Structure 1
Amino acid sequence: MPSINVIGMGRGHGLGAVRTMPEFRAHVEASPLSEAQRRTLVDQAEILIEGLYVHLPLKRAMHAVDPLQSLRLLRSRLPMLTEAEFHISLQRVFLGLRDLHTNYILPDRYVGFAFLGILVERCVEGGRPQWIVTKTFDHLTGDPDLVVGAEVTHWNGTPMAIAVERNAAREAGSNKAASLARGLENMTIRPVRMSLPPDEDWVDLTYRVGAAEHETRLPWRVFESSTDLGGGDASAELPTGISSPSSHLIGLDLKTELSRRVKRRLFAPSSLKEEARVERSALDVPRATKAQQEAGIVPTNRPTELKARTVSTASGTFGHLRIYTFFMEDRNIAAFIEEVARLAAVLPKDGLILDVRGNGGGFVIASEFLLQFFTPRRVRPEPMQFINTRLTADLCGRVADYRDWKPSIDESITTGAPFSRALPLYPEDVVNSVGQLYHGPVVLITDALCYSATDIFAAGFQDHAIGPVLGVDENTGAGGANVLTHEALRADWTGGPLRALPSGAAYRVSLRRCLRVGDRFGQPVEDLGVVPDESHQLTRRDVMEDNVDLMEAAGRLLAGGTVRVLGAAVGAPANGRVTLTLQTESIDSVDVYLDGRPVGTAVTPDGTTDLDVSVAGATPDSVLRLEGFDGDDLVASRLIAL
């Protein structure tokens, strides 16, 4: 084998200050925490985990861990630990919970991302797993053979399958699929404030291009990348009817979200250019570029979060809506919801592929609100529970938004119930205020990096029988909780036991766990996740050619569905009545309700049907609900404001 190449990095990379691993270690060790500061971190971690952490009984049973004893041991050893040993020990306590909501975020001087400059993805070809280089940073130098499409066979001399397994064991995935997905991602990119730092200064990579085998050395580098580690704030634009602060509506795997942003910066400069183009545009909806027209892309005013396109498959032409995140950096949740509604109206009606792979969650309301767009049934938001402890009782007694949970927590003193009553984060009417907008068949694509609000979205999609869930992994990430930061809890909880953390360190904690509805009523999402109805193993063509085989698999599922039409024009009211001109297709009959009260029904052959209904007693806020049936099955609905 020829002598090993060493990967360098050219100028003009735009990443700012970049350090090697030895330089980064020296940087973070220059300002160590005092013993008192370390003790504060351990004490506050113990308060969170013992008094507020909703998954503690589950994690103890499922993963055989004792985080509280680990914290006690850490406290007793504080004087003997180096700076690095302390942070690694505390981080391991949290990683041992296998909960990506509950994190220790290291002090400010650890801000940054460690990266190798390549992205590696797994696929299956001819029944054999392969790990393919699918992206390279444009500014890498030193090895012209390391190109997109190269197959990685060994990692520091270890076969890739074994290397991925070993790295997965260091990660906090709730199930095997999630651990493997996060283990692979962390092998090339990781936020050093939230992950154990690389042990090695470089990685020796063995890879194959065609029949030729090559070896190269990729140094770990760290570039500074600050970001908002919080959640919602008072400026968030929420749907009408929600009184909770947006900081109480977060369900986010922060690590996945941060990695998504950095991947865009390193590997998708065209997406950043599109974001800038949209921001410069004076139009509500940007015009399609020539390249977008040729690729079937539908322009969106939210390109950071959404990508819409038309895909042609052997089974037909369908819409493909990629939802990258439910976390709106500008906090404009209402604008995100409105844009999804607009895109649903302009994409093909024969079927829609909703694709949430790699979506680490965000605002729970942003995910659950969308479900109504695709189902004729009323959506039931997933209910949430606190763990019953002295501290959750105190918290719910002091914070107005949590007081509905307080009586059931107080009752646990006599009942011994481990969890509070399960209540939704917002009224059910909020997530049913728009109703069904898309009446074609829908399929949802998931993977093991789906987490939190995206887990909740996938669970709601399955629980409301909207359509098949097509998974490229055997499970979603299985994050089932509403998460708050230590800082947000301290600000809300006047008189509580939380104290300021030193040097910019932070904690996040799963505060309320979510339960499923429908046929899986009461089942927790945490650690169990959403098991797909159908499976597809990503192929080399998928990772190299924009998911072409995956789209074919989704198309076959959509082709088995029925395209329906349910629309109505409302005539002018006269004598307390209106005429509805119904437009229907593949719907046998339509029932009409005024503010929940039945006012009419009609048999509806394909085409138009006039129906005269009473609107006596209607108010300016009144709504007609149309329900379309195929035989006895509810198959379509629509809300019409009078």
Structure 2
Amino acid sequence: MFDRSGSDPNEFAAFGEATNEIAAFRALTEGNNFPLEDRTALVDQALLLIDRIFVHLMHKRAMYAIDPRQRLRLLRFRASRMSDAEFHAELLRIFVELRDLHTNYILPRPYRGPVAFLGVLLEQYWEDDEPHWMVSKVYDQITGVTDLRPGCEVVYWNGAPVELAVARNADREPGSNPAARTARGLERMTLRKLALSPVPDEDWVDLVYRAGDGALRQTRLPWRILGPADLEARAPGIDTADDAALDGEFEGLPVAQTLAVDLRTEAVRLLKKQLFVPSAKKAEEQRAAGSDTAPEPTQSQIAAGELPTTRPDELRARRVPTPDGDYGHLRIYTFFIEDGNVRAFVDEVRRLVQLLPQHGLIIDVRGNGGGHIVAAEYLLQYFSRKRVQPERLQLINSDGTLALCRAVEQLNPWAQSIADSVETGAQYSDAIPLWSEDAINEVGRIYDGPVILITDALCYSATDMFAAGFQDHEIGTVLGTDETTGAGGANVWPHGLLMSQWPDGPFTALPGGAEFRVALRRTLRVGKLAGQPLEDFGVRAEATHRLTRRDLLDNNADLMDHAIGLLKGQA
């Protein structure tokens, strides 16, 4: 049935080395001696976060029939009987089952740096209303398989039909809706940041795929462990300090307190870039050297109609030619501004938008895990005929949030309504925006043509807020490659930030380099859906497009055709 002629003749020699590599890492985690007092400290701090600070606790308990507080108490009781790997896996599982990508357990050393990788990436496409899974990227240094190339269709995964394997993996993901869990589960099948995801159970994956000649072939891909020496990917809340610069009414704003980002999506985005986009490294080196000029475009970029940009990690802008004239395509990869210069980011968006054709604009935020809320909400004014209203934020009413709001100056406006809840019985505080309307309307509309927004289930956090604002202000049609965005609506604070901003609070240093993140303030929509929370609901697309094989192999050609058709209808 299967032809193995596509495999490298030295495949099993390489496989043996890879088995030892991941087995050695697994042995390291099993043999690591994390003291009982450190395990107890982790569980106790997690209980404080969930019980006193976590804004979605009541919502998640009702929606998913979970009891994280009891699970944590049981873990504390049983911790002495567990191996290190069992303890960390259970604590990770408790957080995953919250179905909240903002509220995370980030594992300590030795999990902190390494990445597990199969050497390929998978993406889903549709044909005749049936899903298919394609190898979209191959890292040749790892696979060693001669004809496993982008475009090969995966049929079986470890002996199971690939659709079942994807579904089972998705069920172990924390996404807020089925589409979000599937998207993240698909990524995790081949690439895992071990600080956020469990070590693979298997040492290798047996893959059956349809090669370019149509024949079914079978190969074995080993899980490889890439360490910090192999990758230097960073992600907000793990390895970076968040401080941003935006003048005017935002000057002095502690942006580290106003982040909204899905750590997993941002981490995987950075890893993909390092593995599969070598040109990105040169652009980053230029930025690190202080260059504020856009790099010279390559011939392929010129042929693709791309505009040079000073922010290539975050933005891509190009002209899309059609018989009716050129349209603009603005890709926003992330709202996490790694160098902290939010002003440079929003100004570069403004410059690019003004250079793109005014015939119609496609804003594409697929795969954007969020970042700086101010960057996301500030951009809306560029495209809106209406005055932009910022989203409102709420905390859960508890003795913990009351003490926190009294201790942190920027949270003071929420304190009175939390104190009043003793008498009012309200579950949540007043809903208050992070900044004034004047602040996010200081420039106004700069693009006069029709605009549409492309989303997917990996859009999360600040990107959910951007999509919600786009829809709430009726800027244009939301076209989704999934029915909804990832449905993450909260401002997230790391445990370390809570500890530093609230020195007299109950939070203490975590052992072994571990970290927690928690959804502190939930976000509420404005406009026609005013008051509806973003969490678990997300932004529902007004039109949908299922990605095709041509989309994956030819620069989203069918998706662009669909988007341009919608733009013509809005003109």
* 1:316/1:555 contact within 8 Å kept: no
Select 2:225's aligned residue among 212, 222, 240. 222
Distance in 1 separating the partners of 2:8 and 2:60:
43
Q: More deviation in 225-234 or 387-396?
A: 225-234
Q: CA 1:8 to 1:534, structure 2 compared with 1: closer, same or farther past 3 Å?
A: farther
Alignment correspondent of 1:202: 204
Which of the residues 331, 335, 348 maps onto 2:344? 335
Structure 1 position 277, deviation (Å): 5.6
Seen in structure 2, the aligned counterparts of structure 1 residues 286 and 267 have a Cα distance that, compared at 3 Å, is: closer
Task: Select which of 128, 151, 158 maps to 1:149.
Answer: 151
Alignment of 1:202-601 (within 5 A): 202-209=204-211, 210-225=213-228, 227-230=234-237, 235-242=243-250, 243-276=252-285, 284-313=293-322, 316-562=325-571
CA distance in 1, matches of 2:9, 2:538: 39
SS class of match (2:196): coil
AA matched with 2:271: V
1:373 and 1:435 in contact (8 A); partners too: yes
The whole-number CA distance in structure 2 between the counterparts of 1:493 and 1:107 is 23
Partner of 2:14: none
Alignment-mate amino acid for residue 78 of structure 2 = R
| Preserved contact between residue 350 and residue 441 of structure 1 (Cα < 8 Å) | yes
- Distance change >3 Å, CA 281–CA 72, structure 1 → 2: closer
Distance in 2 (CA, whole Å) between partners of 1:149 and 1:3 is: 18
Matched with 1:93 is 94
Cα deviation for residue 414 of structure 1 reads 0.2
- The separation in 1 between residues aligned to 2:115 and 2:247, in whole angstroms, is 34
Determine the C-alpha separation between the residues in 2 that align with 1:411 and 1:283: 50
Deviation at 1:78, TM superposition (A): 1.0
Summarize the Cα distance change of 1:233–1:117 in structure 2 as closer, same or farther, 3 Å threshold: closer
Instruction: State the SS of the aligned residue for 2:415.
Output: helix
Correspondences of 1:73-84 after superposition (within 5 Å): 73-84=74-85
Paired position in structure 2 for 1:42: 43
Choose between structure 1 and 2: higher helix proportion: 2
Give the distance between the partners of 2:202 and 2:59, measured in 1 at CA.
34
Measured after TM superposition, the shift of residue 284 of structure 1 is 2.8
Mapped to 2, the partners of 1:327 and 1:102 lie a distance apart of 17
**In 1, distance between residues paired with 2:70 and 2:107?**
21
With CA pairs under 8 Å and 6+ residues apart, which has the higher RCO, 1 or 2?
2
Within-5 A mapping of 1:9-48: 20-48=21-49
What residue is the counterpart of 1:573 in the other structure? Answer: none
CA spacing shift, 1:499–1:281, aligned 2, 3 Å:
closer
Distance 2:367 2:173 in 1: 16
Q: Decide which structure has the larger Cα Rg and report it.
A: 1
CA contact (8 A) 1:6 1:218 kept: no
CA deviation digits over 1:159-181, x for unaligned, max 9?
A: 11111110001100100000111
Preserved CA contact (<8 Å) 1:482 1:512: yes
Aligned residue for 1:609? Answer: none
Q: What is residue 53 of structure 1 aligned with on the other side?
A: 54
Deviations 1:406-452 (A, max 9, x none): 00000000000000000011122111011111111000000000000
Deviation digits for residues 333-385 of structure 1, max 9, x if unmatched? Answer: 11101100000110000011000000000000010000000012111110000
Distance 1:323 1:454 in 2: 10
- Bigger drift between 289-298 and 197-206 goes to 289-298
Say if 1:8 and 1:141, in contact at 8 Å, map to a contact too.
no
Deviation at 1:8, TM superposition (A): 7.6
Distance change >3 Å, CA 315–CA 119, structure 1 → 2 = farther
Residues of 2 paired with 1:454 and 1:482: CA distance? Answer: 12
1:230 CA displacement: 2.4
Q: What is the CA–CA distance in structure 2 between the aligned matches of 1:332 and 1:7, rounded to whole Å?
A: 50
In 2, distance between residues paired with 1:207 and 1:167? 19
Equivalent position SS for 1:241: helix
**SS of corresponding position for 1:20:** helix
What is the distance in 2 between the residues matched to 1:363 and 1:376?
Answer: 23
- Matched-pair contact (CA < 8 Å) for 1:233–1:245: no
For residue 222 of structure 1, report the CA deviation from its aligned partner. Answer: 1.4
The alignment partner of 1:272 has SS state of helix
How many angstroms apart in 1 are the aligned matches of 2:235 and 2:152?
35
Summarize deviations over 1:264-311 as a string: whole Å, max 9, x none.
111121333344466679563334333322110000000000011001
Per mean C-alpha deviation after superposition, the further-off stretch among 276-285 and 175-184 is: 276-285
Flag the 1:130–1:235 CA change in 2: closer, same or farther, 3 A.
closer
Q: Deviations over 1:121-177 (max 9, x none)?
A: 000012221101111013235321211110000110111111111000110010000
String of CA shifts for 1:493-527, please: whole Å, max 9, x gaps.
02100010001000000000000000000000000
Given residue 55 of structure 1, which amino acid in structure 2 is its aligned partner? H
Instruction: Give the equivalent residue in structure 1 for 2:15.
Output: none
The alpha-carbon distance between structure 1 residues 400 and 221, as it changes in their structure 2 partners (threshold 3 A), is same
Distance 1:557 1:2, change over 3 A: closer
Change in 2 beyond 3 A, CA 1:538/1:414: same
TM-score w.r.t. length of structure 1? 0.84
Contact between 2:120 and 2:139, CA under 8 Å: does it hold in 1?
Answer: yes
Q: State yes or no: 1:185 paired with 2:193.
A: no
Q: Offset of 1:234 from its aligned partner? A: 7.4
Q: What per-residue deviation string (whole Å, max 9, x for no partner) do you get for residues 512-550 of structure 1?
A: 000000000000000000000100000000011110000
**Contact 1:120/1:132 (<8 A) preserved:** yes
Letter in 2 for 1:218: L
Q: State whether residues 385 and 421 of structure 1, in contact with CA within 8 Å, keep that contact through their aligned partners in structure 2.
A: yes
Question: What's the CA shift for 1:224?
Answer: 1.9
Bigger CA drift: 504-513 or 142-151?
142-151
How far 1:27 moved relative to its partner?
Answer: 2.8
Residue 67 of structure 1: aligned partner: 68
Amino acid at match of 1:236: A
**Structure 1 residue matching 2:512: 3-state secondary structure:** helix
Distance in 1 (CA, whole Å) between partners of 2:120 and 2:515 is 29
Count of residues in Structure 1 that have an aligned counterpart in Structure 2? 556
Give the drift of 1:559. Answer: 1.0
Change (3 A) 1:159 1:6: farther
Contact 1:470 1:533 in 2 (8 A): yes
SS at match of 2:32: coil
The answer to whether the 8 A contact 2:382-2:447 is kept is yes
Tell me the C-alpha RMSD between the 2 structures. Answer: 2.0
1:487–1:75 CA distance, 2 compared to 1 (3 A):
same
Letter in 2 for 1:237: A
**Are the counterparts in 2 of residues 233 and 246 from structure 1 also a CA contact under 8 Å?**
no
Is the 8 Å Cα contact of residues 102 and 517 (structure 2) preserved in structure 1?
yes
Cα distance change of structure 1 residues 228 and 476 upon mapping to structure 2, 3 Å threshold: closer
Q: Counterpart of 1:637?
A: none
Residue 321 of structure 1: SS of its match in structure 2? strand
Percent of aligned pairs sharing the same letter: 51
Deviation at 1:244, TM superposition (A): 3.1
Which secondary structure does the structure 2 equivalent of 1:403 belong to?
A: helix
Q: CA deviation at 1:197?
A: 1.8
CA contact (8 A) 1:315 1:552 kept: no
Describe the shift of the 1:7–1:122 C-alpha distance in structure 2 as closer, same or farther (beyond 3 A): farther
Q: Which moved more, 1:396-405 or 1:267-276?
A: 267-276
State how far apart, in whole Å, the 2-side matches of 1:323 and 1:455 are. Answer: 13
